[in-house]
Structure 1
Amino acid sequence: MRALLRRHDDGPPTLDLGERWLDVAGRRVVGGAEGPVELSGRECQLLHLFASHPRHVLTRDELRRRVFEDADSPGAVDTYVYYLRRKLGRGVVRTVRGLGYQMGSA
């Protein structure tokens, strides 16, 4: 049974980001004209969470609990959203005013 399960393992998990893909194991975004974009561990965790729940609006508190558990303030969330936008483009994460953030188009 284990041998059969290993045969169907297609390699490291990837998540669809529209025109690009998130390579979770490699902590990078691949595809598109820009080439691969390397991400830090936290950036990858944050983008993974957004890509896993693309239609869900995630509040700053929810993001802090799930990705930045050691952060004292929700400002860490804003900082890492800024980092993702700087690396992948402004549209990668949408701000939903008064609620939080949502996956945009990568």
Structure 2
Amino acid sequence: LYPEQFAAAPQATVLILVVLMPLIEEVLFRGLLFGGLRRYSRPMAFAVSTLGYALFCAVPFVFQPEGADLRYLLLAVQYLPMSLALAWCYDHGGSIWSAVALHMAVNGASLFLAVG
């Protein structure tokens, strides 16, 4: 999907994928969710934020115009390593900005590989 989006609107694709999505997703999943749960239980914060982000990334594939296909939830597995790395980066980086920077780098590399 990235090549089609990039061909149609390259600047908007880069802005959304490499800047806005990492900012919003990191604030929600690492800042609010992980940060809120970490004060009670670090393992629970890792588990909930990692799984929550992975499911968040997979759910849009489940619901298509043809109907829902729950088998697409298996796509969440591919997002687990990155989600765990982002949570670790936030936890050990001292601020949300380390996770945002990593997320931007990963999304930028993914876009470059998809269209390059």
User: With structure 2 as the length reference, what TM-score do the two structures score?
Assistant: 0.24
Q: Which of the pair is proportionally richer in strand?
A: 1
Q: Which structure shows the bigger proportion of residues in helix conformation? A: 2
TM-score by length of 1: 0.25
